[in-house]
Chain A
Amino acid sequence: VAVLRQSGSSSVCNFSQGEEEEKVWRQEEIMEFAELIKTPRVDGVVLHRPFMPKVEGTLCLTGHHLILSSRQDNTEELWLLHANIDSIEKRFGFLGTIIVKCKDLRVIQLDIPGMEECFNIASSIEALSTLDSLSLMYPFFYRPLFEVIEDGWQLFVPEDAFKDLESMTDEWRLSEVNKDFSVCPSYPSLLTVPKDIDDESLCKAASFRHGGRFPVLSYYHKNNGMVMMRAAQPLTGTNGRRCKEDEKLINATLCAGKRGYIIDTRTITVAQQAKARGGGFEQEANYPQWRRIHKSNVLQESLIKLVEACSDQSHSVERWLSKLEASNWQSHVKEILTTACLAAQCIDREGASVLVHGTEGTDSTLQVTSLAQILLDPACRTIRGFQALIEREWLQAGHPFQQRCAQSAHSNGKLRGEAPVFLLFLDSVWQILRQFPCSFQFNESFLVMLFEHAYASQFGTFLGSSVAEREKLQLCQKTVSLWSWVNRPQELERFLNPLYEPNNLVIWPSVAPQSLLLWEGVFLRWNRSTKCLDEAYQEMVHIIEYNKELQNKVNSLRRQLAELETEDRPLQTP
């Protein structure tokens, strides 16, 4: 996905057998995309990147990669997925220049000798980076150079999650009502619903909710048995339609005499306006046991402005702060964290169940439900648990990754549903990680890696927008899961937090603006040199590892000593 990310070995010109195979297979690939690639190879291309020496070499275009190789030993090659390219700019002067702006926010410059070559390369990149057909995406062509030991596709199945739930409570059942995705196309086929609600009622409730997203279980808080559910907005419309089954469904989750909270991720005005378009919100009269809270979260353009601010070369502090403010990104982070804290507080502190929804129930709803789980459930702070959370609350819950991540900050065309919803979620997780640096099993690199792969990847995990779509594309059979790669011990090591000490408690981050930071690891990643910071981090890791080593040594010496003592004693006793 990024330079050299997919296989460390390609950095050095030392072709292993596996790579030879890959080369052969790349030939086939080129055939398929041949008509899009007018000039597959240009010599004497110069690559410019911030804080790195320029590299001169040969530029090759394949169906999925832009490759720049210096053909020298020990010199890095650039391997860039076309899917990672957000937009390009062409400049024609003495040399042709292409500025490539990537979805991972990197900006690189390629100087290409020859106008025609430059023009051809540019138009090929444009075409290859905006392929419409999902089945032409790289994950369908990627063959792993590693042996898949643990298939990521089979790691997080709803049945297993339900088994865990069953061990804690018998109030819920697994419904197959959406088995053919006809009740709700964006839901998975198996859904956890209250035991007393039959499938027929579910269908009726589904017809009352936007996109058929009727209330389903998102999280069970085993400390006190409270639950978090999520849904889409109710379709009350202007004349205040109601649905008895929907009311019954969510009331079934309340204990006798208890009240619950409905967290609407829109402002009350936006929710009111939604009525005109057939949407709406739960009327108090029909949901007397529920208190509704509105929290807004609008997210658009924000990322573009933020990234623009970060790449501003002006050294004026005022200008920087003003642009940072104008982007509103940090406000969004604060808002979404506050809402997640609110949901978690209702559950853990107030002992009340919660229903979360916005309009479609596929964006801010998921941010809130997943962040709340990170606060409440220590399991979500482990590396496996976090993967399971993404699988459950994002992939299976039907976040439309395909639309949302089609473009990132450099998109200049008209937007077709792009929004950095997932990135905002990752940013919020990073904020919590910063405040509880010892409570997470994974580190910042893990979050950055997820960001990259959500936008462009050799793995199939983030392809498609719903379980239904993924099944149709047969991703399980035709592509490799990101988790299959991540969970290999050799890869996993990079993503582990050396400071981790399991913390079994609910964690409450501060949401004061002074406590929230700009996620420099993503937004300033390519605009600054991190050498000093990386070295300091290495030193910290070294101290921690050295500590473990010493502990082990002391233990083994003590054991040795104890053995000697017991051996010696019989000799001494007459």
Chain B
Amino acid sequence: MEHIRTPKVEQVKLMDRFSNKSVTGTLHLTATHLIFVESNSTSSQEIWILHHHIASVEKLSLTTTGCPLLIQCRNFRVVHFIIPRERDCHDVYSSLLSLLRPVSYEELYAFSYNPKQNDQQREEGWQLIDLAAEFERMGVPCDQWQLTDVNRDYKVCETYPRDLYVPITASKPIIVGSSKFRSKGRFPVLTYFYQEKKAAVCRCSQPLSGFSARCLEDEHMLQAISKANHNNRCIYVMDTRPKDNYSNIRFQFVGIENIHVMRGSLQKLLEVIGMRSLSMTDYLVGMENSGWLRHIKAIMDAAIFLAKAVTVEGASVLVHCSDGWDRTAQVCALGSLLMDPYYRTIKGFMVLVEKDWISFGHKFADRCDQLDPDPKEVSPIFTQFLECVWQLTEQFPQAFEFSEWFLIQIHEHVHSCQFGNFLCNSPRQREDLQLKERTYSLWAHLLREKQNYLNPVYSPKYAESHPVLEPSTQAYHFRFWRNMYHQYDRSMHPRQSILKHVLTLKETNQELEGTVEALKSKLQKLGASTSPLKPHTSPRGRTLPSRPKSLILGAPPVSLKEADEELFGEEATEDPPVCTGAQRTVEGSSATENGYKELMNEPSVVTLEFGVARMTC
């Protein structure tokens, strides 16, 4: 590629973020990745960084040892290289700058990523999630709600999906009229139907005119939603924004801040936790000042309000914010997750993300900075949603089929642009780009690796007995999500992971059950007949199927050696961990599918050492 001026720089130092340790190695620049390979006879740790993951590259002022290059990633990895020669550093720097600012969607990794699947497999991948089937699961269409074809050609609303569900009494003129009154044409549509009480969760954008203006069609629309619920005619209109001057008493204001506040808040949080030799006081004060957890709680409060209104009062709720694709998506999705145990399963969570985020036009391209962006449009809205789900998994450890690694992996790929799902801003754009024909689906990929994302203590029985989650909103329940924001800072994690340990045991148990059965039947045969035994048929426990290496969970159990060699905080001594065999860091799941592996002449045993750190909890 013409952007790459220097494909390889040797004698590069990788500095540890929080101590004075460093390792030396070679930096490679490919069309898709920045790769650091540690040059050490006993260990060869690799770090793969996808260009799309890079949020910023900074060249710091020259030091005696070389030229420092600071790279911050959207998955919260921060790497600090020192490149001996200034010119090399500048070459890498400018190459990266041009590489990480793709101008068109076609330049994104998803269009070149090839997991060696045929067209049929790819198609099947895209068919895994079917939203029509999802609405059917909710019991829609029904006698009160129908599918409308008004948006078949994206004529009424460009950012909505083609298939929309509305009350049967909402005629086309009402819909069209209402859409004209709403920002970006995002008129009220159904997103979740609570069958038990026939209560609906609808979403839309803000009304276009201020306080005094009226729109009869929009009022009819609301009436239609209200009429569709026989149990409770009252309908809540939740404006998720903080209260402002056009308020109407029927409105329930929730007070979730806008994308700019959220962006600033995350920035402050990352600044605090990125500090070296951080004191407890600075940490806690910094957490408080960043306001991050307050925002998380605000979203949670709104979702809890929504879930209560629907499940307890049986009232229908209309949720909106400004455009109806940020805060509205957060609240609708989280609210549904509280109400419906299906969304707390792996498949169900995918459906939920597909429905409330992807299909209803959350602007992933803008918010996640996929193309040469407007920095004012970037905001961690989806990250916040994932974090809210994580906070819930902490309160309800048995309610979720997945563990936090599922959430983290989704986050990783929202930014990796390796799969087609999260590209672009709306379903229409995706169709225009023919993503389903040209890229692969993340969901298929994640389902194949499902066993790694399972929560070993998940109990379907729990879901039966607790269909609706009622989380506590006591302030101390809101914790810092270390495994997300420090997933690459190995020194911060527990050295042994309970989650991984128990997950492995659970898998072993399944295998053992099989072995027990096999042995029993063998014994029965022996006892029953005297037929000669084949010599040397010593029953051997089947070995576990090996996990795909590309996974964060695919590592062997944490070696105690590693635990021993780990150093604490800033007081650590200088000697690096002694490790046997090769180690590699796998960025997302991109590394193994990449052809680079063949170049590396990989040893047969691969220790995903950094992967282990990411797994710990």
Contacts and interface: CB of A to CB of B under 8 A. Distances in A.
Interface in A522-540: 524, 527-529, 532-533, 535-536, 539-540
Interface residues of B, number: 77
A565 B18 CA distance: 60
A325 B539 contact: no
Interface string B489-505: 00111111110011001
A543 interface: yes
A78 B475 CA distance: 30
Contacts, number: 210
A322 interface: yes
A319 B571 CA distance: 32
Interface stretch (A228-236, A409-417, A511-519): A511-519
B284 A554 contact: no
A568 interface: yes
B352 to A, nearest CB: 22
Interface in A63-101: none
A95 to B, nearest CB: 28
Given A503-B560, A532-B397, A561-B526, A550 B513 contact: yes
Contacts of A312: 475
A515 B490 CA distance: 11
Interface string B130-151: 0000000000000000000000
A324 interface: yes
A562 B494 CA distance: 43
Interface stretch (A135-143, A167-175, A177-185, A435-443): A435-443
A30 interface: no
A333 B526 CA distance: 62
Interface string B384-414: 0000000000011111000000000000000
A512 B284 contact: no
Contacts of B515: 554
A561 B522 contact: yes
A320 B293 CA distance: 11
- B285, B288, B291, B573: which has the most chain A beta carbons within 10 Å? B288
A319 B572 CA distance: 34
Interface residues of A, number: 77
A155 interface: no
Interface stretch (B30-38, B77-85, B272-280): B272-280
Interface in A298-335: 310, 312-322, 324-325, 328, 330-331, 333-334
A78 B89 CA distance: 71
Contacts of B283: 513-514
A557 B513 CA distance: 12
B476 A518 contact: yes
A328 B282 CA distance: 11
A562 B285 CA distance: 66
A439 B492 contact: no
B424 to A, nearest CB: 34
B509 interface: yes
A40 interface: no
A318 B473 CA distance: 13
Contact of A325 (B288, B395, B459): B288
Nearest to B566: A508
Enumerate the 4 nearest inter-chain pairs by beta-carbon distance, A residue then B residue, closest first.
A320-B475, A513-B283, A505-B564, A536-B397
26 contacts: A315-B475, A317-B293, A325-B284, A338-B568, A341-B568, A341-B569, A342-B571, A436-B563, A437-B501, A438-B498, A507-B495, A507-B563, A510-B491, A511-B568, A513-B279, A513-B283, A514-B278, A539-B457, A543-B457, A550-B509, A554-B516, A554-B541, A557-B520, A562-B538, A568-B530, A572-B530
Interface of A: 310, 312-322, 324-325, 328, 330-331, 333-334, 338, 341-342, 345, 349-350, 434-439, 499, 503, 505-518, 520, 524, 527-529, 532-533, 535-536, 539-540, 543-544, 546-547, 550-551, 553-554, 557-558, 560-562, 564-565, 568-569, 571-572
